[in-house]
Chain A
Amino acid sequence: MSSTDVAGRDVAESGREGLGSRARSVVRREAAQPGNWVLCAAMLVATLVGAQTSRFFSVDNGKAILVSTGTIGIAALGVTLIMVCGGLVSLAVGETAAVAGMVFLFSLDLGLVAALVAAMAVAAAATALQGAMVGAWQANPIILTIAVASILTAVGARLTSKAAVQPASDAYETLNRTPWGVPVVVFALLGLTVAVQALMTATKVGRYMYAVGENRAAARAAGLPIASTVIVAFAVAGALMAVSGAFSASTSHTITLLGASQLTFNATAAVLAGGTAIFGGFGSAVRTLFGALLIATVTDLLLLRGADLGMQILVKGLLVLLVVLLGHLRTSRVGA
């Protein structure tokens, strides 16, 4: 409810006072988000800690952060779509990306583009079905994706016979290139961020996503096509998870289901840290871009300072908890 109120006031103000005040009110609105302050503070702390950490400010480390921002961020863009339209979180992000990555590696002999398309199609089909269940039937998305994770784990184990997957050709090396010294995945992330942002704000179905996530009953009463909106959001999300899976398969030249949950945790934490509302109706691709950068930086810092995997997971879990609590306090104060 809060964001429509704010948006409505924006329109009124900009009509009266012109574009300058509109820009100011956008700034004011963004400044009123405690999530933004948390994000800025976390970035600042990360940079300060980075200054104390040897090897943090180096070209190689910068590149490493960017690569992991890329794989986390692309999957997180998908999670953003799911979250904005009211689908909460998916607990099968890592599994979807891993199985799609397997499809990608298997079909590489058809060429890079065909393999990417195949992986995206498989993942999008799987998530579109989930979208149909969430959109048309209001199935519980968390328990649904727990089931999907189990099914995909089985499918993945079947596909690979639990051995490391061998790429069908080395066409994937294109994805590992670094034109002008910047990894391809970074360009992919930036391009996809712009594309998803455009989808969410400049198209009809994108604006429906916000409406459905904001208030499903109202969207229904208004006659919006809820089911197809949610299906589109989930399908695009699946395709994005597949792209993320293809990139991580290329970086490590293989892919396994081991540690698939890491991507799930990272992507969820990135979207929430960016400030997208967990119950939907508010959020953006650009927010997620910054969230992914933060998560990748924090992971890198913890690694450089000798923190092990357990500490990394712990920090991300606490971050998710903190953001959820802050988001709740904000909305309940506005509501009161």
Chain B
Amino acid sequence: MNGRLQVLRRSTSLLPLLALTVTVVAFACLPAYAGRPLETYDLFNLFEAFAHIGLITLGFGLLLTAGEFDLSIVGIFALSGVIAVKLGQDHPLLGVLAALSVCLAFGALQGLLIAVLRIASMPVTVGTYIALLGLTRVVGDNQTSVTFDNLDTTLWIQEPVATIFSPRSLLVLAVFGLAAVLFSATRWGRELRALGGDRKATRTAGVPVNRRLVALFAVSSLLGGVAGALSSFNAGAAITDPGSAPLTLGAAGALIGGVAVAGGRGNVLGIFAGAMSIVILGQIFFVAGVEEFYSDLVFGLVLLLIVAINAPSAKDWAVRLRAARHPPVSTSSSSTGPRPTTRKQRQDARTHAAATAHPPAHPPPSRGGVPGQPDHLPDR
């Protein structure tokens, strides 16, 4: 019991669980304020929306866990959709294969560049993101969308299976299932978090870091590619400018899923819960008839909030604020009392320590910080 409570207390599992519970309850209560009962097609739509952004969220989440950042997944999403539609008019499978090979090759190349040069992935993928958006327009003959004339495929891919699923949503759920098994049953999950936690130590421990990075970026592009091809087949057209929605929703889903922005924390089930929460929130807006700008606003604010929570110094800042408001009453024992957090308190502590002699053999341990780094000097 105690162990389970410990698990719950870790924000990795708490946040996605909380978000999923709240959104599911809100969704179940929808009839109360939407003015109509929930139908099975609401659930169908829910899984369709999940199929649209789920894989992008997974890609974002996996790479963030490994301490990397892949903005280009949204560019790949758009490019893959256009390629699959253009080459797949007669043979859809051929189009998908072509699109996915392009994605795989691009992802592996990008991963190789990042791994071998040991360059930060964020600026690199900002560049490739912009370039891919441009390339998508070029391939799409500068139209805003490329229509997919293969109506049979479009009908097949959105045909209801077991009332609430479709081949598309089942495929996406299967990918999530596969990823969940792979990253919990094999050592890849631990290696993924190790890569994001301490790259140097991971290398020293004998993990082939470069190979893992190349594979990860390839997988991320592949996920974006599958999502793009499926979405454009489903819509009957490939949109050349995906806009900022996949970026916002994907990042928000991954972070709500308990993935740390700084890396080293996250798992597939959490990412699933995060993506699902975002999708349910979107469906609540949709069913309740909320106008688009409100949903944009709420998604933006959610992402803003979660970035703030994830910010490394936000916690210290809150602690300082609280300490400043409620100064500790007793200063007799500095080892058991609260850490001195304001400048005044540290001065007091210093004079106190000087008065009671016995210099400490070691500096006081810093909470989770790197030893020897001044992680509690205030930013004034």
Contact = CB atoms under 8 A, between A and B. Distances in A.
Interface string B269-299: 0000000000000000000000011101101
Contacts of A265: 130
A277 to B, nearest CB: 10
A219 B111 CA distance: 33
Given A157-B293, A324-B127, A139 B251 contact: no
B77 interface: no
Contact of A158 (B293, B300, B301, B314): B293
A313 B134 contact: yes
Contacts of B297: 150-151, 154-155
A127 B136 CA distance: 31
Interface string A312-328: 11111111111011001
A143 B301 contact: no
Contacts of A278: 123
Given A143-B303, A321-B128, A220 B248 contact: no
A136 to B, nearest CB: 6
Contacts of B310: 139-140
A70 B137 CA distance: 26
A312 B134 CA distance: 7
A135 B312 CA distance: 11
B247 A146 contact: yes
A311 B134 contact: yes
A147 B300 contact: yes
Given A147-B307, A225-B379, A328-B119, A317 B312 contact: no
Contacts of B93: none
B161 interface: no
Given A143-B261, A150-B296, A227 B136 contact: no
A30 interface: no
Contact of A315 (B123, B134, B374, B379): B134
Given A146-B248, A328-B117, A328-B119, A137 B127 contact: no
Nearest to A221: B374
A320 B296 CA distance: 29
A179 interface: no
Interface in A142-169: 142-144, 146-155, 157-158
A306 to B, nearest CB: 11
Contacts of B240: 310
B156 interface: no
B304 A317 contact: no
B122 A88 contact: yes
B330 interface: no
A54 B5 CA distance: 73
Contact of A151 (B69, B138, B140, B300): B300
Given A137-B317, A139-B311, A310-B140, A317 B123 contact: no
B122 A227 contact: no
Given A149-B244, A220-B377, A139 B132 contact: no
Interface string A100-144: 000000000000000000000000000000000101111110111
B136 A317 contact: no
A151, A223, A261 interface centre (most CB from chain B within 10 Å): A151
A227 B379 contact: yes
B102 interface: no
Contacts of B308: 133, 137, 139
Which of B118, B124, B296, B301 has most chain A Cβ within 10 Å?
A: B296
B321 to A, nearest CB: 11
- For the side of the interface on B, what is the size category? 35 or more
A31 B254 CA distance: 44
Contacts of B251: 143, 146-147
A315 B310 CA distance: 34
A220 B127 contact: no
Interface residues of A, number: 58
B179 to A, nearest CB: 22
Nearest to B305: A147
Nearest to A92: B244
A321 B123 CA distance: 8
A1 interface: no
Contacts of B139: 310
A136 B307 contact: no
Give the one of A135, A269, A278 with max B CB within 10 A: A278
Contact of B137 (A137, A308, A328, A329): A308
Contacts of B292: 157
A155 B128 CA distance: 29
Nearest to A140: B261
Nearest to A327: B123
A332 interface: yes
A153 B244 contact: yes
B307 A133 contact: yes
B300 A308 contact: no
Nearest to B137: A310
B124 A324 contact: yes
A147 B379 contact: no
A194 interface: no
Contacts of B136: 310
B8 interface: no
A309 B319 CA distance: 50
Contacts of A269: 130
Contacts of A158: 293
Interface in A47-98: 88-89, 91
Nearest to B377: A220
B120 interface: yes
Interface in A239-261: 261
B296 A317 contact: no
19 contacts: A136-B313, A139-B308, A139-B311, A140-B310, A140-B311, A142-B69, A147-B301, A149-B248, A150-B296, A150-B303, A151-B297, A155-B297, A157-B292, A261-B244, A269-B130, A310-B139, A324-B124, A325-B124, A332-B117
4 A-B pairs with the lowest CB-CB distances in the bound complex, closest first: A310-B137, A317-B131, A314-B134, A313-B134
Given A135-B379, A149-B248, A155-B297, 6 more contacts: A88-B123, A136-B313, A155-B293, A308-B142, A314-B134, A317-B127
Interface of B: 69, 71, 113, 117-120, 122-124, 126-140, 142, 240, 244-245, 247-248, 251-252, 255, 261, 292-294, 296-297, 299-301, 303-304, 307-308, 310-314, 317, 373-374, 377, 379-380
